[in-house]
């Protein structure tokens, strides 16, 4: 069993100073995809079940399979925050065949859900990916305030009975978990059976707002060699009444952050970025129109360079068109993906403010000039992409770039996503941080202390008393 | 071609209907022996429909303003090559024997749109999904081509600046030109970047204007004038909408095909042409045109321009009217404006910008970044 965790987090300036961690064209969706892409040693196309933990506009959950290249039909959605993550991990444990891969993506939007008109909230944006579904197990400690199925409500009303701590460890009782899960893609499956719906509670009124920051912080500490290397303690008031959840891994946790400080990415300050990423810009009255159906149909090519190889003449057709662009045959087309790393730049220009199409006015107002490149993805395929995460003009002809999924343009109240270019990583994705603490343990070696062998009552140092 | 008319080009007070009327009236007036509008059998209007003022059925406006109310008219739209293709349709109508006299007009009214609407329309003729929504307008697409051209051929931006300086010098001699003021290479190279390596003075302006042509079959032509200008041959071609899908980033296959067809039809050698009207929407486009039309080897157009051969008084002047760069580029009118220049030059009535002894001319009209192109060869 393996447990690999990759995460990304954006922290509000008010709490963490001026470390910029995400770019204006990133959001919960693109960070989650990037986190999944950076899972070491995992081919996301092999993922069989997707678990999504976090709020998303209705258009996006179905977008994950296209973004990750999975063959899954959709995704199981969970409420935002640790409770949802907990439920997702448990579901992955319970439902997986030993050899199957479950992918859990968790994220909090830093701002209002895309497309909503709700006021912006100053909270964290995070993405967390967990793979090999059987690799993580849970222990936890819940505090329920009553036998009511709605503990939070009674607590926030201030009329609750005294808290009743309840330890939970190992694998949580299936019945208990299932009762709390939102297990169907539409989020309503359990409710239809008369069971409490976690999403309802998480979204309900009250001062609590779940977020993933404590998990991310704990993972970061582990990655840096501080803290307990094989466990993540989470101290967070959970909507379902749990106060402490400990994620324990049966293998070392590799922490990689796809995000680096602002200075090394050439981006603006984090506060500037935060100020500018919240919501979809107002409708563009003057701009090219791409019907949503056309955008959706082209998504596999736009997002993962899906192309077709003709078995008759060996020509590559890109984007997908169902028929060979060279010989016209359609009976021997094989779907492939062109590489998204190490593309050689063949042409480059920098668009100065005023020369941009109206669709990217919002972007120019935020970040000024930008470069557009034509890069070669295959001897017979070029692609036109914007450069991101780098100052305009930073890439020249002959340089190599990698392609990443980012926001491209807003249309009809939603963000449309596509590939952009970043300077190519010299030797593949950045390696996980090397642990330096007393629990130093090379990443990737299997730990010999599975959860079941740990002493009873063993707790992370960060666990609340 | 028995008559041709041209409005002033620039930011004009006149609306689209008035511009069309002026151009057609000027074409009618230009016919030496007088012209009865009732002889027009069909009309073709080249226009993009800029800013959407009359996007559908806009050719009806040509019938109204030309005062040929029952004559069939069609709009031909191939972006910046709209009028070039309207001319081609007119040539076919006459060549086939279907019509004796045909009206061709080109029109665009661009300067009255607010800037966001204008920027929207300036990019509608490129590939929408892969180019435009990656952040490219035509300046960006031509900027990409220029970046490759300069690097591949080790050409300095001076060559681009020379194209602008030369066309501004020519435009200064053209009373219809939007810019009638010379600029130096240094001024071009000191102007701000728009889409590197292209600078502001590498780009054609936003322009209002119209031009009109009266074409007649060979037998009919002499009823109108003793000195018609003949279409010796025309050609056209197409290419991928998006630059990324083309074989070369520094050559327009549509232009090459159009030129081959035009020279084949006209049975003339390239060397027989006295001057060229080429589609210089950006300075780089003129370099590519000279190479694709067969007047310079790949990378050789830069040296040709810097040698002075393409200036008035040189061995083969290019864009004696100032080109799109200085004369202006009212999108749908440009192809007709180029043919107008061939008409006045080959009849020796071009005034201060006259190419001495000009007997054969070539016009070259490109749609978008090269998805379509026409080439027409005219002779006395
Ligand atoms: Zn084939």
What CATH number is associated with residue A26?
3.40.47.10
Yes or no: say if A65 and A73 are a contact pair by the CB < 8 Å rule: yes
Single residue among A221, A250, A274 that ends a domain in this structure: A274
Q: In A, residues 284-313, which contact B (CB 8 Å cutoff)? A: 285-288, 290, 294, 298
Distance (Å) from CA B240 to ligand 1 centroid: 18
CA distance A276 to A368: 13
Superfamily (CATH H level) for B3-113+205-379: Thiolase/Chalcone synthase (3.40.47.10)
User: Residue A283: its pLDDT value, please?
Assistant: 47
User: Residue A98: its pLDDT value, please?
Assistant: 58
Residue showing tokens 């910008």: B353
- Say yes or no for a CB contact (<8 Å) between A350 and B196: yes
User: Residue A94: its pLDDT value, please?
Assistant: 64
- Say yes or no for a CB contact (<8 Å) between A360 and B135: yes
The per-residue pLDDT string of chain A (465 residues; one tens digit each, 9 = 90 and over) reads 233 444 444 333 222 222 233 566 777 777 777 767 766 566 777 777 788 877 666 667 678 888 888 877 667 887 766 667 767 766 766 665 556 677 777 765 544 333 333 333 333 345 666 654 434 444 443 333 322 333 333 333 333 333 333 333 332 222 122 222 222 233 233 332 323 323 333 333 332 333 445 555 555 554 455 444 344 443 333 333 333 445 555 444 444 443 333 333 333 333 333 334 444 554 455 677 888 888 888 999 999 999 999 999 999 999 999 999 999 999 999 999 999 999 999 999 999 998 999 888 888 887 889 999 999 999 999 999 999 988 899 999 999 999 999 988 888 777 889 999 999 975 444 433 333 333 333 333 323 222 223 333 333 333 332
Contacts of B229 (CB under 8 A, 6+ apart): B1, B342, B343, B346, B347, B378, B379, B380
| First vs last C-alpha separation in chain A | 31
In a shared domain, residues A243 and A366: no
* Residue A333 belongs to some domain of the structure: yes
Instruction: State whether residue B196 sits within 8 Å of chain A by CB.
Output: yes
Instruction: State whether residue B191 sits within 8 Å of chain A by CB.
Output: no
In a shared domain, residues A455 and A314: yes
In this structure, is the dihedral angle defined by the CA atoms of residues A416, A419, A421 and A424, taken in order, positive or negative? positive
DSSP letters for B120-155: HHHTTTS-TTTTGGGT--HHHHHHHHHHHHHHHHT-
User: Residue A461: its pLDDT value, please?
Assistant: 32
Instruction: State whether residue A188 sits within 8 Å of chain B by CB.
Output: no
In a shared domain, residues A315 and A443: no
Q: In A, residues 268-287, which contact B (CB 8 Å cutoff)? A: 285-287
DSSP B192: P
Yes or no: say if B185 and B162 are a contact pair by the CB < 8 Å rule: yes
User: Residue B331: its pLDDT value, please?
Assistant: 97
Distance (Å) from CA B239 to ligand 1 centroid: 20
In a shared domain, residues A265 and A320: no
Instruction: State whether residue B55 sits within 8 Å of chain A by CB.
Output: no
Read off φ and ψ for residue A335, nearest 5 degrees.
-75, 130
Catalytically annotated residues of B: 80, 329
Using a CB-CB cut-off of 8 Å, the residues of chain B touching A358 are 116, 119-120
Residue showing tokens 């007088």: B34
User: Residue B19: its pLDDT value, please?
Assistant: 98
Using a CB-CB cut-off of 8 Å, the residues of chain B touching A384 are 130-131, 134, 136, 242-244
Torsion angle in degrees (nearest 10) through CA of B2, B7, B10, B11: -150
* Residue A79 belongs to some domain of the structure: yes
User: Residue A82: its pLDDT value, please?
Assistant: 62
Q: CA A374: distance to chain centroid?
A: 28
Q: Counting every residue, how long is chain A? A: 465
In a shared domain, residues A441 and A456: no
In a shared domain, residues A171 and A242: yes
Rg over CA atoms, chain B: 19
Q: Kindly list the domain boundaries of chain B, sorted by start residue.
A: 3-113+205-379
Closest-CA residue of chain B to A397? B148
Residue showing tokens 């009109």: B212
Which is nearest to B135 in space by CA: A422, A412, A356?
Answer: A356
Picking from A286, A294, A348, the nearest residue to B116 by CB comes out as A286
Opening angle at CA B2, ends B1 and B6, nearest 5: 85
Instruction: State whether residue B259 sits within 8 Å of chain A by CB.
Output: no
The mean pLDDT values, 10 residues at a time, for chain B of 380 residues are: 97 95 98 97 96 91 96 97 98 97 97 86 88 92 98 96 98 96 95 95 95 96 96 98 96 98 98 98 98 98 98 98 97 98 98 97 97 98
In a shared domain, residues A60 and A188: yes
* Residue A301 belongs to some domain of the structure: no
The model's pTM: 0.78
Which is nearest to A384 in space by CA: B128, B268, B52?
Answer: B128
**Alpha carbons within 13 A on the beta-carbon side of A69:** 22
Could you check whether the bond before residue A270 is cis, i.e. omega within 30 degrees of 0? no
Instruction: State whether residue B124 sits within 8 Å of chain A by CB.
Output: yes
Which secondary-structure segment (H or E) carries A65?
Answer: helix A64-68
The b-or-e profile of B51-87 (16+ CB within 10 A means b, else e) is beebeeebbebbbebbebeebebebbbbbbbbbbbbb
Work out whether strand A136-144 and strand A242-249 pair parallel, antiparallel, or are unpaired.
antiparallel
Region for B216 from its dihedrals, namely left if φ exceeds 0, alpha if ψ lies in -120 to 50, beta otherwise: beta
CA distance A317 to A294: 18
Angstrom CA distances, A342 to A68, A347, A393, A425, A426, stand at 19, 15, 18, 8, 9
Distance (Å) from CA A314 to ligand 1 centroid: 6
Q: Into how many domains does chain A fold?
A: 3
User: Residue B237: its pLDDT value, please?
Assistant: 98
In a shared domain, residues A61 and A73: yes
Question: How is residue B145 written in tokens?
Answer: 């081509």
Distance (Å) from CA A317 to ligand 1 centroid: 8
Yes or no: say if B61 and B54 are a contact pair by the CB < 8 Å rule: yes
In a shared domain, residues A333 and A378: no
- Say yes or no for a CB contact (<8 Å) between B128 and A288: yes
Opening angle at CA A269, ends A265 and A270, nearest 5: 95
Using a CB-CB cut-off of 8 Å, the residues of chain B touching A354 are 194
In a shared domain, residues A262 and A392: no
Question: How is residue B377 written in tokens?
Answer: 């060869």
Distance from CA of B331 to the nearest CA of A (A): 18
Which is nearest to B252 in space by CA: B218, B284, B207?
Answer: B284
In a shared domain, residues A133 and A188: yes
CA distance B3 to B26: 8
> A332 lies in which domain range?
308-337+450-465
- Say yes or no for a CB contact (<8 Å) between A355 and B134: no
ipTM of the complex: 0.94
């Amino acid at each position: 069993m393996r447990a690999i965790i990759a995460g990304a987090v954006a922290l509000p300036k008010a709490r963490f100073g001026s470390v910029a961690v995400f770019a204006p064209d990133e959001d919960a969706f693109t960070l989650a995809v990037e986190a999944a892409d950076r899972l070491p040693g995992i081919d996301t196309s092999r993922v069989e079940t997707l678990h999504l933990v976090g709020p998303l506009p209705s258009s996006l959950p179905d977008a994950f399979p296209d973004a990750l290249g999975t063959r899954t039909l959709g995704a199981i959605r969970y409420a935002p925050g640790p409770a949802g993550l907990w439920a997702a991990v448990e579901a992955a444990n319970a439902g997986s065949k030993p050899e199957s891969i479950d992918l859990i993506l968790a994220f909090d939007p830093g701002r209002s859900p895309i497309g909503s008109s709700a006021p912006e909230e100053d909270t964290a944006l995070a993405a967390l990916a967990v793979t090999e579904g059987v690799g993580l197990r849970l222990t936890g400690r819940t505090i329920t305030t009553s036998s009511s199925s709605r503990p939070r409500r009674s607590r926030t009303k201030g009329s609750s009975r005294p808290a009743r701590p309840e330890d939970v460890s190992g694998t949580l009782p299936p019945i208990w978990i299932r009762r709390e899960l939102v297990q169907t893609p539409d989020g309503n499956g359990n409710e239809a059976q008369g069971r409490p719906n976690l999403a309802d509670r998480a979204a309900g009124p009250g001062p609590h707002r779940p977020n993933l920051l404590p998990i991310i912080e704990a993972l970061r500490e582990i990655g840096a060699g501080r803290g307990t290397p094989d466990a993540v303690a989470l101290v967070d008031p959970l909507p379902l009444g749990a106060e402490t959840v400990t994620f324990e891994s049966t293998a070392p946790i590799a922490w990689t952050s796809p995000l680096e400080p602002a200075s090394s990415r050439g981006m603006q300050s984090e506060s500037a970025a935060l100020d500018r990423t919240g919501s979809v810009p107002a409708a563009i009255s003057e701009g090219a129109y791409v019907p949503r159906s056309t955008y959706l149909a082209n998504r596999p090519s736009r997002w993962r360079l899906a192309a077709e190889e003709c078995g008759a003449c060996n020509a590559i057709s890109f984007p997908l068109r169902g028929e060979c662009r060279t010989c016209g045959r359609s009976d021997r087309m094989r779907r492939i993906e062109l590489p998204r790393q190490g593309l050689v730049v063949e042409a480059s220009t920098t668009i100065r403010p005023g020369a941009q199409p109206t669709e990217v006015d919002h972007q120019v107002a935020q970040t000024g000039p930008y470069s557009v490149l034509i890069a070669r993805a295959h001897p017979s395929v070029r692609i036109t992409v914007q450069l991101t995460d780098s100052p305009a003009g930073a890439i020249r002809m002959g340089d190599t770039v990698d392609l990443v999924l980012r926001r491209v343009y807003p249309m009809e109240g939603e963000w449309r996503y596509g590939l952009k270019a970043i300077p190519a990583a010299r030797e593949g994705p950045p390696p996980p941080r090397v642990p330096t603490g007393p629990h130093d343990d090379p990443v990737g070696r299997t730990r010999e202390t599975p959860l079941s062998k740990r002493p009873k009552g063993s707790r992370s140092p960060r666990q609340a008393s | 071609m028995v008559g041709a008319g041209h409005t002033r080009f620039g930011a004009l007070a006149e609306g689209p209907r008035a511009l069309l009327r002026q151009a057609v009236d000027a074409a009618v007036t230009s016919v030496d022996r007088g012209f009865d509008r009732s002889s027009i059998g069909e009309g073709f209007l080249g226009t993009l429909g800029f800013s959407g003022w009359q996007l559908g059925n806009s050719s009806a406006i040509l019938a109204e303003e030309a005062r040929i109310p029952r004559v069939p008219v069609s709009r031909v739209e191939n972006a910046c090559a709209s009028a070039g293709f309207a001319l081609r349709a007119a040539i076919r109508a006459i060549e086939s024997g279907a019509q004796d006299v045909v009206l061709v007009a080109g029109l665009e009214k661009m300067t009255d749109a607010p800037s966001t609407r204008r920027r929207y329309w300036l990019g509608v003729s490129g590939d929408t999904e892969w180019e435009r929504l990656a952040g490219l307008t035509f300046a960006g697409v031509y900027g990409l081509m220029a970046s490759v051209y300069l690097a591949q051929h080790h050409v300095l931006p001076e060559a681009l600046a020379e194209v602008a300086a030369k066309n501004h010098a020519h435009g200064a001699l053209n009373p219809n030109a939007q810019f009638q003021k010379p600029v130096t290479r240094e001024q071009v190279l000191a102007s701000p970047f728009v889409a590197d390596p292209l600078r502001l003075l590498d780009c054609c302006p936003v322009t209002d204007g119209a031009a009109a042509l009266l074409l007649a079959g060979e037998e009919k032509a002499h009823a109108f004038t003793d000195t018609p200008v003949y279409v010796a041959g025309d050609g056209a071609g197409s290419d991928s909408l998006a630059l990324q899908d083309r074989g070369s980033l520094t050559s327009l296959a549509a232009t090459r095909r159009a030129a081959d067809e035009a020279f084949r039809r006209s049975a003339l050698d390239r060397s027989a042409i006295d001057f060229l009207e080429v589609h210089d929407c950006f300075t780089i486009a003129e370099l590519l045109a000279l190479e694709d039309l067969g007047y310079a080897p790949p990378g050789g157009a830069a040296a040709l321009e810097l040698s002075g051969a393409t200036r008035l008084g040189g061995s083969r002047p290019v864009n004696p009217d100032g080109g799109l760069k200085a004369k202006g580029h009212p999108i749908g009118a440009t192809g007709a404006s180029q043919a107008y220049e061939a008409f006045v030059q080959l009849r020796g009535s071009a005034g201060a910008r006259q190419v001495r002894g000009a007997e054969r001319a070539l016009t070259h009209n490109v749609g978008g970044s090269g998805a379509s192109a026409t080439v027409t060869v005219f002779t006395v």
